[in-house]
Chains A and B, each alone.
Chain A
Amino acid sequence: MELFKATDVIKDYAGHRALDRVSISVKEQSVFGLLGPNGAGKTTLIRIINQITAPDEGELFFMGRRFSSGDIASIGYLPEERGLYKKMKVGEQAIYLARLKGLSKQDALKNLKYWFEKFEIQPWWNKKVEELSKGMQQKVQFIITVIHQPKLLIFDEPFSGFDPINTNLMKSEILRLRNDGATIIFSTHNMASVEEICDHIALINQSKKVLDGNIHDIKEQYKTGIFEIETLVGANTEEVFQNHRFNLLELETRGIRKRIKFQRTNGESNNELLHKLTANLELCSFREVIPDMNEVFIQVVNQANQKVK
C-alpha cells in the first residue's frame, strides 16, 4: 500500500523547469531515499510534498486520496536549512511549533516530555536556543519534527552537523520510527547512509527522475560482473585468466594469499564461473562485487548528463 504518490509533477520557475514529469511512489512504512546532485530539484519536490509550493501540473495522493491541505498535519519536515528562534526557550518553542502542527498544549507537553527524557536533555528545557551547541540544536529540531507523530516524515540531510555517536542515534531513531509505522522520505548526499537505511530510492538529475526502485534491485541491476577471489600464492593464476579471457583488474599478494579482482567477459552464470575456477585454482574465497550506491549514483548521473549532451 502506498502512502504517498506523485504523478507527472511539473514545476516551472521563471525561465527554468525545476521538475519535469517526476513521479514517485512511497510505500507505507518504508524509508524512501530521494537522491540527486545539487540543484537537481529535490528541494522543490520536497517543498511540493510539504505544500509550501504547489505544482504547476501533476497530481498528488496521500493514503490513496487526493492530497488536501488538511494532510499537512500528518507530515513532519526536517529541512536542510535548519533553524529555530534563537532567543526563545527550548521547551516553549517546541510547544509552539507542535501546536502549529495541530497538537493541543497538553499533548505537546506529554510528547515532548517523552522525547526529552529519551534523549536525556531535560536540563535544556528552559535554555535559550542560542545557548545550545549546533549538535544540541539539531537534536531539538529532530524532536520538533517528530513530535506530532506524523504518518509521513521528510528528512532533508538529517545527519549533517551530528557527530558519529549522534548520527548513529538518529539512524536508529529513524529506523525505529519506521518500525513503529511511520513512512520516511529521506534526502541525502551521503550514500553510505542511504544503503544503511533506505528500502527504496529515486534519483533525480536535472529536473528529471532517472532512476527509481528497490535499493537491492538497483544495485543488482548495476552490477558489472566483477568478482573478487582469494587463492594461495604459487598457483599459476595468469595462465588461468588468459585461458578464460577474464579482465584482470587488481592483483595483490597478502602473505600466503593472493587477492584477485576481475571482470567476467561472457554471460556465464556464477556457478559455471565457480566450476571453472575450482578446476584450476585452490580458492579461499569467492565473492561477486555488488556496486555500492556511491558508484551507482556517479554512474547514473554521468550517463544521464552525457545523454543530454
Chain B
Amino acid sequence: MNKSIIILQREYLTRVRKKSFVILTLLVPFLFAAFTVLPAWLAMQDDEEQRTIAVCDESGLFTGKLENTEFTSFHFVPSQEFANLKSNITGGPFYALLFIPSDIMTTSTAEMLADRQVTMDIKNMVSGKLEKIIEAVKKKQIIDQAGIPDLEAKLAATRTNIRLSTAKVNEKGDSVKSSTEIAMAAGYVAGFIIYMFVFIYGAMVMRGVMEEKTSRIVEVIISSVKPMQLMFGKIVGIGLVGLTQLLFWVIILTILITAIPAFLGSEEMMQQSQNMIAAQAAAGGEDNAVLKGIEMVSNLNLPLILGTFLFYFLGGFLLYSSLMGAVGAAVNSEEETQQFMMPVTIPLIFSIIILFPIIRNPEGPLAFWASVVPFTSPVIMMARIPFGVPAWELILSMVVLVLSIWGTIWVAGRIYRTGILLYGKKVNLKEILKWITYKN
C-alpha cells in the first residue's frame, strides 16, 4: 500500500478518536442550537402572574378606557382612597398604584408607585396604553377642528409600505425569485466557515509537524518515507478530519432544527409561528411567507454553492496548511512559531475583515481582485457565489488557486525537507528562503 495512505490513516484516526474532537463535534451543534433557540424560547415564557393596578385618574380622561389585559387589571379608585393606599403600600392588595395628574394632556407625565421596582414589561404596557389614549384624544380634537369629512380614513390611506421583490434572470430569460438577504446570509456563513476551518486545521497541521520534529520521531519516519509523502499524508489526513467534523455538524444541526420544535412540543410555539406567518401575510398581503422563503433558498443554486464550497474549502486548506506545515518544520518551539505565523495568516485575517464590505457590494473591484488572489479567494469567492458570479471569473479564480496550491506545496515542501531535520537552531526568514533553493 502507498505509504502516504498509511500516514493519512494514522493522522486521521488518532485525531478523530481524541476525546476533545468527539466532544467538540457533538457539543458545538447543541451549543449553537441552545444559543439561538433558548433565548427565543425563554422570551416566549410569558409572565403569567395576575396583577391588579390601582388607578387614581384626576384628569378623568381614562375612566373606562384603560382596558384590562390577560394578566393585568386596572382598578379605579377615588383620590381619598388612593392616599390611604399610598400610606399602606406594603402588603396591600395592589401590585402598583398609578397616579394620573389632571394636567396629563399638557405635561405628559404620570406616576407609578410600588413597594418594589416595577418590571419593564408592566411599565411599557402602562405607558403604551396611556399614550394611545392621549393620542386618540388629540387626534380627535384636530379632526373636529379641521372639519374635513372622513379625514381619519384619508390619513390612514396615505400610509405606504413598499415591498420590493428581487429576482435573478438566468440565461434562458426565466426569472427566478431571489432574496438579497438570503444570499448575504449564505455568503457570509460559507465564507466564515471556510475561514474558521482553514485557521483551526491549518494550525493543527503546524502543530503536528512540530510535534514530530520536537519529539525527534521524524528522523525514524524520514528513514522510511520521503518527506513529501509524510507532509502529503499529514495534510490530507487532517483535511479529512475537518471535513468529518463539518459533516457531523451539518447532520446534527439538521436533526436538531427539525427536532427542536417537536421536542419543545409546545402548541404555543406552533401557534406563535403561525401567528407570525399570519401577521406577515396580513402585512405583506402574501399567501405564505415561509413557503416563499423556502422557495428562495432552493432558488440559490445549491449544487453550485455546495460544489464550490467543497472546492474552496479544500483549496484554502491545502494552500494555508502547506505553508503552516512549513512553519512547523522551521521552528523548534511553540514560541518561535509566532513570527512566522504572522505573515502566513495576515491574508487570511484580511479576507475576514473585508468579508462584510464585500457581501454588501459583491460586484466591486475589491470583490473581484480579492476573489482572484488565491490567499483571499477561498473566503471571498465563496461569499460572492450566492449572488451569482460570471463563469469566467469563477474559472479564473479556481485556476489561480490550483496553480498557487501547486506552488506553495512546492515551496513548503522544500522548507519542510530542510527544516524538519535541523534541530536546536533558531532560524530567521532569510535563512528559510535560502532553503528553497537548496539541492536535495
Contact = CB atoms under 8 A, between A and B. Distances in A.
B225 interface: yes
Contacts, number: 62
Given A52-B421, A100-B6, A72 B217 contact: no
B220 interface: yes
B219 A83 contact: yes
A83 B216 contact: yes
Given A82-B216, A83-B216, A84-B217, A53 B440 contact: yes
A88 B11 CA distance: 11
Contacts of A53: 421, 440
Given A83-B217, A85-B217, A14 B222 contact: no
A294 interface: no
B160 interface: no
B292 interface: no
A52 B220 contact: no
B221 interface: yes
B336 interface: no
Contact of B216 (A54, A81, A97): A81
Contact of A75 (B215, B217, B221, B223): B223
A83 B14 contact: no
Interface in A128-156: 141, 144
Contacts of B7: 100
Interface in B137-159: none
Interface string A159-198: 0000000000000000000000000000000000000000
A180 to B, nearest CB: 22
B434 interface: yes
Interface in A76-98: 77, 79, 81-88, 96-97
B6 to A, nearest CB: 5
A95 to B, nearest CB: 10
B215 A100 contact: no
B225 A85 contact: no
B223 A97 contact: no
Contacts of A72: 223-224
A81 B223 contact: no
A44 to B, nearest CB: 11
Given A50-B223, A85-B217, A87-B14, 5 more contacts: A52-B421, A54-B440, A73-B224, A83-B219, A100-B6
**Pairs of residues from A and B, 3 with the lowest C-beta to C-beta distance, nearest first:** A83-B216, A83-B215, A100-B224
28 contacts: A47-B421, A50-B223, A52-B223, A52-B421, A54-B439, A56-B439, A75-B223, A77-B220, A77-B223, A79-B219, A79-B223, A83-B215, A83-B216, A83-B217, A83-B218, A83-B219, A83-B220, A84-B215, A84-B217, A85-B217, A86-B215, A87-B14, A96-B6, A99-B6, A100-B221, A100-B224, A102-B224, A144-B220
